[in-house]
Structure 1
């Protein structure tokens, strides 16, 4: 549970936020930061200028003394730090990550919370039992070689065919950089291959599978299509000229557009939602405002029977000791550890470690290291038991809160969550990013009032009001829950969809490229 203490003086209005009573530091909440000499009601006096989101020592700290935020050690003082001093990255020595062999498993399961009944949304039912929040034709590629032809064809489809099918929202090309010039049988090749396979079956595509291949690639189109049905594949090397290629794609697309156009939204239970959670451009407010509110909404979704995915291995690794106790059983706990261990080895092979995650923007936003970032990131998962674990690119087949292992990269994480079957994503940001996905609506939640004001036509929900005491975590969590239902129903449109801001798919391919 997050406990936020806000210290303010109404006339001057200086604010700081202490997340946990155990914390010996706090962050400055004021949009312009606070100058040297500022005094808070508790008597704390700033010894330096402290920018918004950056840290101030609440007590004198000795060299090597633990620096605590969220009630957890985020580092150790490199030298003596006086009360009221600014704590920046240069003063903090990062701790070692939790030992994976010593983690408690399924030892602290949350209490059972009553189900949340009666919540619905208007979605598109699919034959496999899944439900779409959009009605889109997604055309998959088996190899990057065909991307130019498909993009040309999609442009013509949108101009010449799509206006005849008003119930179809969009036509998108699922292009990527995989398919050939790769070690197709290497063990880790299963990650990009199953990602492509599962992307094609995202519930927002209505089960209308269509693959464009070249004809000589290593990833044969038949491996993407269940059963290898040839009537779902266009092979460009079989065409006599460029325009016949385009006409073949358009003819197959037209058949699918006709079927998709007959689909109508119907009332579906909230349990049909599969919601991905992600953060990007994180700052020191992420773990105080937006992520706790998302975590509260995640708990509501789980209570309503939905599936919720949280991800980003390097933003979980340093807080894994807080997650394995929430695993529903030993198998799920071991699966969490397995994914952390695999990623440790992956980073080691690249002569990197989890500290490579933190960006310059994260640091400008007040985060000193990946440990602090991780502790703020995992709050998105709420308090529900962790019901299952997905390896990268695996499709979700169960309800509840799931950890879907992905890199923290926004684009790769989004791609892998789409492969896992999300029909909507919630994305928190402190520094700001225009990120979006063509295949699923992305609700962007800001951590700060200043960002929501600056990007008034890009941010869908502002959680910054939590930091100023104008709203509670619970209030913003409920607001987000209702917004999710409205967006899933098509009643509200996200800003990313309004502007057509959609990032390219980015596969995770740890296997060799030949």
Structure 2
């Protein structure tokens, strides 16, 4: 990124770019002159693109050094380039992409950085200490919500080392084609959600009894002891079905769940934070409510922090297939080997087919807010989105709902939907998430802290109590990408250690978990 003065009016990313982004709040007025004498032909809103040369109809429009589209009509030098005068190019072909052709530059290991986490018996480390109550079917959601509130009022005060109790409700479990091949996605997601490291090896499953997804399925790879009744409860019990004949009415069911929860809380309350290396961090990187600054400020800072975590031996996931698809040619060369590169291609192809079956394509991704923030199409959005992955080699690819397998940088294939992506990253094992936004969102997850990074300072000022870090200072010249990357890295360590709470946690704002279910519903 080149900036001609400490407070530039426009930012041009790459020397070959023929558009630049307006920086100033309120944008640029018609008649203003840029450095070099370019006169604005019309008002260009903040975050939107101004043509640096005259573009004839059909000419390539270049940002990030990549073609983001072609001019739908003649655009004068100094004109406003946006979705109304830009045609989207075809996506990169998935045939003959370069695989593992660009080795990562040597990076010195980053040593001596730690955080205070909760070690689990299975070797994972949590950044929070949370009682998770997962469900096998939506039918029980009302009772779980009721019990969660009772636990918060009546039990949590007795267990000061436990941060929270979370009901993992969802819309799956019955009325679904549970044996369909694609049903593996929601089922393994639910199984793996219960294994999130912030739940401390505790598995508590509430089911109905007659559902297709039987509660025991969610813990079939772990020791299971079925809870039978309130009087003769196994202290290790972790599965309860409301249709159990030992329950006489609603109050009996609630009492059974409360008794189970108290035993789990007793176990969780014994957990203590201890010093852990950064290699135990599993950080999910995501963006939502993106604008044209996302790829200039917040995402590059996140990419820098990604490389720091990887250098320290930690794990980072980046996701969102539709926001990777148009930049896939930039990612496959970074694969650690050809099999990882092929896995990237396979995930893109699977999702192309998935969208085709739904009679849509990747262009449906870009939202009205994205366009208002200056992102003209999914190509421009994807090129800015993948910057969150930094420069580290991509060492693995996992499908939706799968668990992380390796330390380093992994592509976790997910839809771009904020809440679905967050749910799948939590199932993959993340213990903390970083979320960049340019338009703003109160999004937060109930079981992992979510650090919100604003791409522009206008949003950071307006949402002063919802944003954790203002990366807009990069655009104004107040901070460099490197400085913001280090600041974010330190913030990650502080949040992971419990030394700082993220803004949305302070306000008690949490999104529902949303499963990705590509299988049929019966």
Tell me if both proteins adopt one fold, taking TM over 0.5 as the criterion: yes
Aligned counterpart, 1:42: 36
- Correspondent of 2:114 among 116, 120, 124: 120
Indicate if the aligned counterparts of 1:7 and 1:40 stay in contact, CA closer than 8 A. no
Q: 1:247 aligns with which of 207, 230, 255?
A: 255
Where do 4+ consecutive residues of structure 1 move more than 6 Å?
none
How many Å apart are 1:102 and its aligned residue? 2.1
2:118–2:129 Cα contact (<8 Å) kept: yes
Which stretches in structure 2 are left out of the alignment for 5+ residues?
227-236
Pick from 240, 243, 247 the counterpart of residue 237 of structure 1. Answer: 243
Instruction: Number of aligned residue pairs: give it.
Output: 508
Note if contact 1:105-1:327 (Cα within 8 Å) is conserved in structure 2. Answer: yes
Which one of the candidate residues 414, 420, 424 is aligned to 1:406?
Answer: 414
Distance apart, 1:427 and its partner CA: 0.1
Aligned to 2:105: 111
2:455 corresponds to 1:447: yes
- Superposition deviation, residue 7 in structure 1: 4.3
Query: Could you tell which deviates more after superposition, 225-234 or 391-400?
Result: 225-234
Structure 2 Cα separation of the partners of residues 233 and 278 of structure 1: 33
Deviates more, 1:316-325 or 1:35-44: 35-44
User: 1:210 — aligned with what?
Assistant: 204
The yes-or-no answer on 1:416 pairing with 2:410 is no
Residues 1:368 and 2:376 are matched in the alignment? yes
For 1:72, the equivalent position in structure 2 comes to 66
1:148 and 2:142 matched: yes
TM-score normalized with structure 2 length:
0.96
Query: Is 1:131 aligned with 2:139?
Result: no
Specify which of 23, 44, 54 is matched with residue 17 of structure 2. 23
The C-alpha deviation readout for 1:139-168, integer Å capped at 9, x for no partner, is 110000001111111111111111000000
Residue correspondence of structure 1 range 483-494 to structure 2 within 5 A: 483-494=491-502
Structure 1: distance between partners of 2:34 and 2:66? 24
1:161-213 CA deviation, whole Å, 9 max, x = no partner? 11000000101100000000000000000000000000000000000111000
Distance 1:121 1:358 in 2: 37
SS, match of residue 334 in structure 1: helix
Q: Are the equivalent residues in 1 in contact too, given 2:319–2:421 (CA < 8 A)?
A: yes
Instruction: Provide the rounded CA distance (Å) in 2 between the counterparts of 1:365 and 1:198.
Output: 36
Structure 2 residue 176 is the aligned partner of structure 1 residue 168: no
CA distance in 2, matches of 1:118, 1:412: 35
Matched residue SS, 1:155: helix
Alignment partner of 1:100: what SS? coil
1:329 CA drift (Å): 0.4
Alignment of 1:180-191 (within 5 A): 180-191=174-185
Instruction: Please state how far the C-alpha of 1:94 moved relative to its aligned partner.
Output: 0.5
> Relative to 1, partners in 2 of residues 1:14 and 1:380: Cα closer, same or farther, differing over 3 Å?
closer
Q: Which residue of 2 aligns with 1:465?
A: 473
Give per-residue Cα distances to partners, 1:28-57, cap 9 Å, x unaligned.
Answer: 000111110111222111011110001100
Instruction: Judge conservation of contact 1:7–1:16 (CA < 8 Å) in 2.
Output: no
Contact 1:14 1:34 in 2 (8 A): no
SS of residue in 1 equivalent to 2:24:
coil
Distance 1:500 1:191 in 2: 29
Q: Secondary structure at the match of 2:11?
A: strand
3-state SS of paired residue (2:95):
helix
> 2 CA distance for matches of 1:102 and 1:43?
43
1:260 aligns with 2:268: yes
CA distance in 1, matches of 2:13, 2:407: 31
Contact preservation (8 Å) 1:14, 1:38 = no
> What does residue 318 of structure 2 align with?
310
- Secondary structure of the residue aligned to 2:482 is helix
CA offsets 1:439-471 (integer angstroms, 9 cap, x no match): 000000000010000000000000001001111
The superposition leaves residues 191-247 of structure 1 with CA deviations (integer Å, 9 ceiling, x where unpaired) of 000000000000000001110000000001111013444221011001221011001
Partner Cα separation in structure 1 for residue 520 and residue 43 of structure 2 = 49
Deviation of the 1:436 alpha carbon? 0.3
CA-based RMSD of the aligned residues comes to 0.9
Contact 2:8 2:476 (8 Å CA) reproduced: no
Contact between 1:27 and 1:284, CA under 8 Å: does it hold in 2?
yes
- 2:502 matched to 1:508? no
Q: C-alpha separation between the residues in 2 aligned to 1:6 and 1:267?
A: 41
Aligned to 1:5: 2
Q: Which moved more, 1:151-160 or 1:355-364?
A: 151-160
C-alpha contact 2:125 2:198 (8 A) present in aligned 1 = yes
Q: Which runs of 5+ in 1 are unaligned?
A: none
Partner of 2:393: 385
